[in-house]
Structure 1
Amino acid sequence: MFRLSRTVTLIASVGALSVASLFMAGNSDFRKVITTQPDSLELGGFVEADFPFISTSIDGRKLGPGFPKENEAARTLAIRLSDSAYVCFDTDLLRWSVAWTRSFMPMNLMAQVSYSDFFNKSNKLATIGGVPQLATGSYAGWVALKGNAANFEVGAPKRDWIPLPAGEARWNGVYTHGNKVVLNYTVGQTPVLELPGSTSFSGQTAFTRTFRIGSSADALGLVLAEVPNAKRVEQNARFAYIYQGANLDTVTAVGLAGKGTRLMTTSVSEKGHLKVRVAPSSKDVEATVIVWKGPARLIKQFEKAAKATKVTLPDVQKGGPAYWKQDVVTRGVLSPDTAAFVTDKVTLPLPNPWKRNVRVADVSFFKDGRAAAITFEGDVWLIDGIDRSLQNVRWRRFASGMHETMSIEVVNDTIYVFGREGIVRLHDLNRDGVADYYENFSNVMSQSPEGREWAGDLVHAPDGSFYVAKGGSLSNGPGMTPQVAKGFRQGSKHNGVVLRISPNGREAETIATGLRGPYLGIHPQTGVLTASDQQGNFVPSTPIYVIRKGDYYGVSPTAHTDENPPIAPPLTWIPHHIDQSSIAQAWVISDKMGPLNGQMVHFSFGRPGLFRVLVDSTSQGIQGGVSVIHADYPAPTSKGAVNPADGQLYVAGFNLWGSNSKGLSALLRLRYTGKPSYMVSQFEAGKQGIVLGFDSELDPAVAANPENFRVKRYNYKRTEEYGSGHYKLDGSTGEETMYVSAAYVSPDRKKVLLLVPDMKEVMQMEVDYQLAAKDGRKITDQFWFTINDLDELTPAKHGFEKVDYNLLTIRREASAAQPKEVASAEKGKQVFQKTACAGCHSEGTRTKGMYGPPFQPLYGAQRPLEDGTTVVADDEYIRESILNPSAKIVKGYNPEMPSFQGILSDTDIESVILYIKSLKK
């Protein structure tokens, strides 16, 4: 069950050539293998035979008669106890959620289904794959009793998806030691180490729980199992039995083994809870509890096995043997210095000795320039040898088993990882290059098992605290909580919020709410916090926010309040066709990145690529804009960090959710070459127009010609529908073309003042320009920005002189009439590519990695709909799908397409229809 393998085709972003040098840790005599990267690679299974756990959620509500019905957990360790015995330990409630035998778990969760089927988003709920033996309900597994209390009651099921209060109990972390794990937690004030295990007798599997319980003035209570269909109970000082079945032929039993059990007593509640009480003790207690379900006729054999059971906890504080004793060395691919910014490829460690997939989601740096990367499959890799040439990059596996991890931070050379289990701090106790202790630094943020409630992002603040972003509980996946709005499920109380986590990890403070899918950025010196959000229901297009405490950002299902707070505006909006899926931001705190020094960079997953973010300060606040950092991005760009050694920005990303790129994953270095940059470097929007600054000097004759600028504006509408069309300021559909009355060039020839009549506050403005630099380089590009507030322009501060504002009252004559647009299939293909349709729809028959149905063969076909009806894909259907995409949802797809109302002209739409028709041939 743990030896699944599959041959898959890799995407070219892993690099055309790699050097794989494999060697034993600490041994300088190693075998060097240089191979050309193969066209295909054999991947092992998601679950690895030689690593003892994975982190997962679990749905144990349908285990069958004799098991609790209220049994679900968002955060568990699924632990392999033997070749055919397993347990899920709920780290929020400190309980064995379910223990079972035979097969492990079907790989149903998002990171699992997409592990080798790269674009598979059809995740299901996590369940066991074998035969359940023991289970508890969704209540506390341990209870701290006051003094020497004789008995304790089992609490009511918890459905709030938050851990037990730290004063009652706290999960501290897990030690790994070969094929074993030791759980570390605190009950009340009492430290507990637990070694879960299994043993066999008479063809039966029994489960062992070996404890080292610290000294305590209070008694402790432990719930081992719940058997709601109990028929008879027997118990004595050392054993307790619950009989089931019409003939009482099945029994669930607990036995005590070892000297420490003299402080333990067993009991059974009226509701069928199998329990153990631990008496107070002035010394540490080590004892083993053995639990079993099986034929009642084997009770004597069980008792004999319990008395013979002797289990010793390993000395885990000294660390365990390394799981991965080889490094992988790869050769990077340097880009030629063809522009100011280029991307070098840090080739991923594929293939590797463990046949492990490597989908890098984030990267962070140690003080000396070494890096740590996190993968979506829950692995941490350490990276050395990152120098100018990238010809000897050394990768070492450091940690594994974590749950859909997308963020990593190295703080004072210590690694912190954020996943669904919370923030994990990793420790290499014996300094063999592999983590031995996965410490729960913080799990105070709530987390539901909903498939789309991502543990989105983690950033470290200058004051030592952390900020985390939690995804909203989107409804386009298997649901475990009720649907509360279009596109949203109830999820946890922290879904769709930004939280501040205290420096000790023990407290969480809600900073901002009302987000759909936020990702973060933070200035490492000033602590300015930013976030993006994902276009979708209640989010009309891509925003970038400056996060302020108490702000609400407009997604009502994640407001977490009954009030109706005002919606805080973004720093800037970005049009959907420019960035249809945004991720994080990074500040380039460096003196080696030329024009980007000190600048904010925004990451686009969907485009993919990076944007330079500019800020315009007004008397009322701030507003911003973005321009593309043009370079080669072979895979989605998600997150990144500046390397303190070389001062360059490193960018990680992997593919899954729909991107214009089909690359699987990449780790890139955005490198400044020293060549001229022609990007917009500053902007100011005011009542008289727009000031744009550039990195390079412009040809003044070209820049002073207003015909070389095209300006338009439009608003979005925030509704429960997915995304938004474009709307004029009067509310009608469409975009407004603005007149540039005059263009002025500053004395330093790096700035242009555009006089634009009728400037207004608006959600989106675009400036298209066709200019030339002083060196003759043609500059054709765009700048997108938002106007939240309008002040009077002050041209003098930019060096502009003799500006004639009277020109604002003169409407410039339009240039020669443009020829009437004619619809064509070729134009339709251009629209398909320009408006980012290609990120969701295939021109052929491909469905993997696509959010929408393929276009071939589409026209004229019968389309089965989610409501059970069918429709013919004719002109009318395609037009409606473009303008009102939620009207008819094709079966098997989610309503995740924005309206192109006001974006595409009638000719555009007719052209798209012609293009789709042409694909039928």
Structure 2
Amino acid sequence: MKLKFDAKQALVFLFIALACENNSDKKTTMEISADGFILQESDLPAYEKNIDHRGLLEALGDRHGESMRTGEHIYTNTCATCHGDPEQEGSLPTAFKFWEGTFKVGNDPYSIYQTLTRGHGAMPPQVNLTPVEKYDVIHYIRETFVAPENPTQYLALNEAYLAGLPAGSSMGPEPREYKPWAEMDYGNFLINTYELVPADAAPRQRSTGPVQPLPDEDFSKANFAYKGIAVRLDEGSGGVAAGNAWMLFDHDLMRVAGGWTGEGFIDWEAILFNEKHNISPRTIGELHFENETGPGWAHPRSGTFEDPRFQARDGRRFGPLPRDWAQYKGLYEYEDRTIVSYTVGDTPVLETFGVAYSGDRPVFTRTLNLSPSGELLKMRVAPVGTEVALMGSGAELVEENGYQLLHVTATDPIKIKLFLAAPGFTGLQEYVRNAAPAESLSAFISGGPARYPQLLETAIIPGEQEGAFQVDILNPPFNSPWKNQLRLSGLDFFKDRNKGVVCATDGDVWLVEGFTENEGKLTWQRIASGLFQPLGIKVINEEIFVTCRDQIVRLQDYNGDGETDFYESFNSDHQVTDHFHEFAMGLQADAEGNLYYAKSARHAREALVPQHGTLLRVSPDGERTDIIATGFRAANGVCLNPDGTFIVTDQEGHWNPMNRINWVEEGGFYGNMFGFNPPADSTDSGMEQPLVWVERERDRSPSELLWVDSKKWGALNGKLLSFSYGYGKIYLVPFEKLDGQVQGGIVELPLPRFATGVMRGRFNPEDGHLYLCGLSAWGSTQPQLGGLYRIRMTDTPVNLPVGIQAQEDGVLLTFTEKLDENSVENLDNFTVATWDLLRSRKYGSKHYNEQELPLEAAELGRDGKSVKLKIPGIQPTWVMEIHYSLESESGEAVEGLIQNTIHKLGEASSL
């Protein structure tokens, strides 16, 4: 049997939910059943009711070798990530160990099959595996781990057992290549960067090589819509990805970039689709018409189409048109209709798109409603040769410089309709005479029927872990009818703290209820879709703002059903290129209403635009964007500090010898010489130093930091947390400030790894608990695509160091609880090591000058919590690691590691 999905796909998409058959019920339930399963039997696909379990198990004897090979492939590339094996612990220490544990549901093959199929407890259902594949991995687990290592849990099969299995006649569907990115229902539009190409286009250019930075490709002739709104035109279910005809509106330039038809929407080549780096998706199928990259409308006063935007080093221009020229206002959704709103000068425009057919030949339509204008407005419709016709008064078609232009001359409001067809189309004028006239679009901008009426309920799995923290798992809706990937990337709460919003990087926003009512379940309502890589969300005065790659969107619900009727472009100053790496990360707001987010730079390449690798501030009215710090490589979000400064993390890479947590001052440069217009001084003294260099063994990819704001967190209230996207962990960040330089370290909280990378967190002011959301896509070891979690502190002492000071004679640590003096004074209970890094254009750095530092003494302070490690000859260092193995005053083990950075040494102090 040949496995039809590759290892990487299996690893990344193992936990994506199956879309069950749609139903018309208002509410779809996914509660934990009495036996602990996540999916109910009614949630499963129909074929599961007719599986020949006996036949599948009996067939294992005839195909033992093939089954073991397939099962090993699945286990090694998916299951081992969490579960590990007898030699290597998995990334989730709490995951079941087949070689030593006791099965919770049952140790027979059918019971294990039920666990894989329906999910149980913290383990989501493995919905991408077919029945044959599930029994193959079960066979491998039983014969490899259970039989030899855990024989009391091995159930031998006999006739009585086989006869008792549910009867059926099907082996289930054949294995297939799993492409969830292409199967998801994104809604009727999807915003992304797209390249429009004809069906016979040459292969892409992709620069490679060992020398960094990589050279730029020649994209001077490419037709990219960097902020492309792809709109499905034909009718049918499944959203934009399931269509057969599309138009692409570029909201940087207010142009229709082109229209195409075919089987298949795009080629899905992109980092957040099929994981391909250094690439953007292309259209596939037949491209019937296209407009070159440039303003869609002439300047309303000068009449020129000459592009005035920022010109990058490679000759391309990026960013939106000036506001006095044209401005994108947002888009409305009404049933399957998408209506774009923008202005040309002072003239408001509403535009929608359609397709009709003359025989089997498509005719694309653009319906425009324009308010009165006191000047001539000119719009590029299509190159000469494209068949174009106009219906309506107040405008005319004119040829100019190789283009067919629309001249709008009316002084009254007008409704017009453009018809476009491929060159060679005959009979368009006759077709238009029988076509429906342009309609008024005002009837479709006040809210329409709900597009996603189903409410989805999911179970909350309460944590019962021992120790200072308990983690509740707040399951997302794995059985979503829209096949959502649920890679959760941001969350925030309303004034009613029982309600919150969660965004997902696949384009969705969800309204979630049930956070504080403690009824054991959450209700999820899909309220927005089709957005461009949302990676931050903030509720301000009960309004929802979302950070997307192309804009900050304010979601407007006009009819009170919760769903978004108008995707208002609050700010679209974003300079977007085709590069895969320039994520727009996080969203915070200060007391004055300014918004903040971070924008990553290009990977292994020099910046093209000023915004690459920056921290950005957007004014409260959305009218202005300012760059307030530069030199970042992959800045994953932003934390606002009480003193008005910021914290921004960055990732190991070129000019970053290791991950860094940066305490950011306005105007600072933070080290990435591949950024836009870097300083002339490339030495370490030419940049701001980080709070701490974070070794990849501790966290391969830090995300966002958060100040603890909860009395329930006791000694940790007011302290600083750092979230790990790379390893699914949480760290405490003790720090100090010496002569204006902030320095400190990280200490891991005593929690098992989360199944996802941790992206964002918020404390709920009502219950005082920490809520986290996470995802796994690029650069994370954690296998689950998305997750939502709640962390509650118990009364158990946490026993962590919350303070660190580097002094002339050693290091002073301050713990949350009192310590045993004898354990502190025993120098064998400490190990202190240091090493240096080398910052260069190369990726990362090895260790230099590694050494273990001798301790002269360890003293416990009068408060019982302060520990002074006296270290002769201590010096500033890039990286220090302090291992400690102590006891508390009451006899509990206090063990851990602090990894810190020392830039300066303070004065020695006595305890």
Q: Is the structural similarity TM-score above 0.5?
A: yes
- For 1:204, give the aligned amino acid: R
Q: How many Å apart are 1:211 and its aligned residue? A: 1.3
User: Residue in 2 aligned with 1:738?
Assistant: 853
Q: Does 1:690 align with 2:811?
A: yes
User: Residue in 1 aligned with 2:723?
Assistant: 603
TM-score by structure 2 length? 0.76
Q: Distance in 1 between matches of 2:836 and 2:25?
A: 60
Q: Which of 451, 470, 484 lines up with 1:356 in the alignment?
A: 484
- Whether the 8 Å CA contact 1:204–1:294 is kept in 2: the answer is no
- For 2:597, give the aligned amino acid: V
Q: Which of 78, 82, 86 lines up with 2:234 in the alignment?
A: 82
User: Residue in 2 aligned with 1:546?
Assistant: 663
Q: How many Å apart are 1:603 and its aligned residue? A: 0.9
Q: How many Å apart are 1:55 and its aligned residue? A: 0.6
Q: Distance in 1 between matches of 2:613 and 2:863?
A: 46
Q: Which of 41, 46, 51 lines up with 2:127 in the alignment?
A: 41
- Whether the 8 Å CA contact 1:535–1:722 is kept in 2: the answer is yes
Q: Does 1:327 align with 2:447?
A: no
Question: Does the C-alpha gap of structure 1 residues 692 and 390 become closer, same or farther in structure 2, counting only changes over 3 Å?
Answer: farther
User: Residue in 2 aligned with 1:60?
Assistant: 196
SS class of match (2:665): coil
TM-score by structure 1 length? 0.75
Question: Does the C-alpha gap of structure 1 residues 300 and 222 become closer, same or farther in structure 2, counting only changes over 3 Å?
Answer: closer
Q: Which runs of 5+ in 2 are unaligned?
A: 40-117, 119-124, 129-178, 202-218, 236-243
Q: Distance in 1 between matches of 2:713 and 2:891?
A: 24
- For 2:325, give the aligned amino acid: E
Q: Does 1:198 align with 2:355?
A: yes
- Whether the 8 Å CA contact 1:111–1:404 is kept in 2: the answer is no
- Whether the 8 Å CA contact 1:453–1:491 is kept in 2: the answer is no
Q: Deviations over 1:616-636 (max 9, x none)?
A: 122343212110012122221
- For 1:139, give the aligned amino acid: G
Question: Does the C-alpha gap of structure 1 residues 287 and 18 become closer, same or farther in structure 2, counting only changes over 3 Å?
Answer: closer
Q: Which of 538, 552, 558 lines up with 1:429 in the alignment?
A: 558
Q: Does 1:220 align with 2:373?
A: no
- Whether the 8 Å CA contact 1:462–1:527 is kept in 2: the answer is no
- Whether the 8 Å CA contact 2:266–2:283 is kept in 1: the answer is yes
Q: Deviations over 1:538-588 (max 9, x none)?
A: 101111111111111111111424633721000111222111111111112
Q: Does 1:703 align with 2:824?
A: yes
Q: Distance in 2 between matches of 1:745 and 1:30?
A: 56
User: Residue in 1 aligned with 2:694?
Assistant: 574
- For 1:265, give the aligned amino acid: E
Q: Does 1:636 align with 2:757?
A: yes
- For 2:898, give the aligned amino acid: F
- For 1:783, give the aligned amino acid: I
User: Residue in 2 aligned with 1:771?
Assistant: 886
Query: What are the residue-to-residue correspondences of 1:853-868 with 2, within 5 Å?
Result: none
Q: How many Å apart are 1:111 and its aligned residue? A: 6.0
- Whether the 8 Å CA contact 1:52–1:181 is kept in 2: the answer is yes
Q: How many Å apart are 1:607 and its aligned residue? A: 2.3
User: Residue in 1 aligned with 2:710?
Assistant: 590
Q: Which of 95, 101, 106 lines up with 2:261 in the alignment?
A: 101
SS class of match (1:473): coil
Q: How many Å apart are 1:175 and its aligned residue? A: 0.2
SS class of match (2:298): strand
Q: How many Å apart are 1:153 and its aligned residue? A: 4.8
User: Residue in 2 aligned with 1:180?
Assistant: 337
- Whether the 8 Å CA contact 2:491–2:761 is kept in 1: the answer is yes
User: Residue in 1 aligned with 2:397?
Assistant: 266
Q: Does 1:92 align with 2:259?
A: no
Q: Distance in 2 between matches of 1:671 and 1:443?
A: 38
Q: Distance in 1 between matches of 2:739 and 2:185?
A: 62
Q: Distance in 2 between matches of 1:443 and 1:709?
A: 53
Question: Does the C-alpha gap of structure 1 residues 365 and 50 become closer, same or farther in structure 2, counting only changes over 3 Å?
Answer: closer
Q: How many Å apart are 1:152 and its aligned residue? A: 5.2
Q: Distance in 1 between matches of 2:222 and 2:828?
A: 68
- For 1:127, give the aligned amino acid: R
Q: How many Å apart are 1:410 and its aligned residue? A: 1.5
Which range moved further: 208-217 or 557-566? 557-566
User: Residue in 2 aligned with 1:663?
Assistant: 784
- For 2:882, give the aligned amino acid: V
Q: Which of 72, 90, 100 lines up with 2:224 in the alignment?
A: 72
Q: Which of 627, 648, 662 lines up with 2:769 in the alignment?
A: 648
Which range moved further: 103-112 or 373-382? 103-112
Q: How many Å apart are 1:31 and its aligned residue? A: 11
User: Residue in 1 aligned with 2:290?
Assistant: 135
- For 1:52, give the aligned amino acid: N
User: Residue in 1 aligned with 2:155?
Assistant: none
Question: Does the C-alpha gap of structure 1 residues 637 and 426 become closer, same or farther in structure 2, counting only changes over 3 Å?
Answer: same
SS class of match (2:834): strand
Q: Does 1:494 align with 2:615?
A: no
Q: Which of 406, 409, 414 lines up with 1:279 in the alignment?
A: 409
Q: Does 1:712 align with 2:826?
A: no
- Whether the 8 Å CA contact 1:46–1:112 is kept in 2: the answer is no
Moved over 6 A (4+): 5-23, 29-33
Q: Distance in 1 between matches of 2:231 and 2:220?
A: 21
Q: Which of 583, 593, 601 lines up with 1:472 in the alignment?
A: 601
- For 2:717, give the aligned amino acid: N
Structural RMSD (CA): 3.1
User: Residue in 2 aligned with 1:344?
Assistant: 472
Q: Distance in 2 between matches of 1:17 and 1:77?
A: 27
Q: Deviations over 1:478-497 (max 9, x none)?
A: xxxxxxxxx22544331111
Q: How many Å apart are 1:79 and its aligned residue? A: 0.3
Q: Deviations over 1:68-112 (max 9, x none)?
A: 945212111000112532111000000011111223522424465
SS class of match (1:702): helix
Question: Does the C-alpha gap of structure 1 residues 401 and 19 become closer, same or farther in structure 2, counting only changes over 3 Å?
Answer: closer
- For 1:56, give the aligned amino acid: N
User: Residue in 2 aligned with 1:612?
Assistant: 732
Q: How many Å apart are 1:766 and its aligned residue? A: 1.3
Question: Does the C-alpha gap of structure 1 residues 13 and 752 become closer, same or farther in structure 2, counting only changes over 3 Å?
Answer: farther
Q: Distance in 2 between matches of 1:657 and 1:686?
A: 39
Question: Does the C-alpha gap of structure 1 residues 63 and 492 become closer, same or farther in structure 2, counting only changes over 3 Å?
Answer: farther
- For 1:79, give the aligned amino acid: V
Question: Does the C-alpha gap of structure 1 residues 60 and 791 become closer, same or farther in structure 2, counting only changes over 3 Å?
Answer: same
SS class of match (1:594): helix
Q: Distance in 2 between matches of 1:688 and 1:223?
A: 72
Q: How many Å apart are 1:402 and its aligned residue? A: 0.9
Question: Does the C-alpha gap of structure 1 residues 50 and 647 become closer, same or farther in structure 2, counting only changes over 3 Å?
Answer: closer
Q: Distance in 1 between matches of 2:14 and 2:733?
A: 26
SS class of match (1:142): coil
Q: How many Å apart are 1:122 and its aligned residue? A: 5.1
- Whether the 8 Å CA contact 2:389–2:428 is kept in 1: the answer is no
Identity of aligned residues (%): 28
Q: Distance in 1 between matches of 2:618 and 2:181?
A: 35
- For 2:126, give the aligned amino acid: S
Query: What are the residue-to-residue correspondences of 1:808-823 with 2, within 5 Å?
Result: none
- Whether the 8 Å CA contact 1:19–1:331 is kept in 2: the answer is no
SS class of match (2:194): strand
- Whether the 8 Å CA contact 2:271–2:277 is kept in 1: the answer is no
Question: Does the C-alpha gap of structure 1 residues 452 and 550 become closer, same or farther in structure 2, counting only changes over 3 Å?
Answer: same
Q: Which of 367, 370, 392 lines up with 2:495 in the alignment?
A: 367
Question: Does the C-alpha gap of structure 1 residues 509 and 759 become closer, same or farther in structure 2, counting only changes over 3 Å?
Answer: same
Q: Deviations over 1:256-315 (max 9, x none)?
A: 213xx2x21211123x2110111151x322222222224354245345346x54434252
Question: Does the C-alpha gap of structure 1 residues 657 and 152 become closer, same or farther in structure 2, counting only changes over 3 Å?
Answer: closer
Q: How many Å apart are 1:134 and its aligned residue? A: 1.6
- Whether the 8 Å CA contact 1:202–1:301 is kept in 2: the answer is no
Q: How many Å apart are 1:155 and its aligned residue? A: 4.7
Which range moved further: 587-596 or 544-553? 587-596
- For 1:76, give the aligned amino acid: G
Which range moved further: 781-790 or 515-524? 515-524
User: Residue in 2 aligned with 1:298?
Assistant: 427
Q: How many residues align?
A: 734
- Whether the 8 Å CA contact 1:346–1:390 is kept in 2: the answer is no
Q: Deviations over 1:841-864 (max 9, x none)?
A: xxxxxxxxxxxxxxxxxxxxxxxx
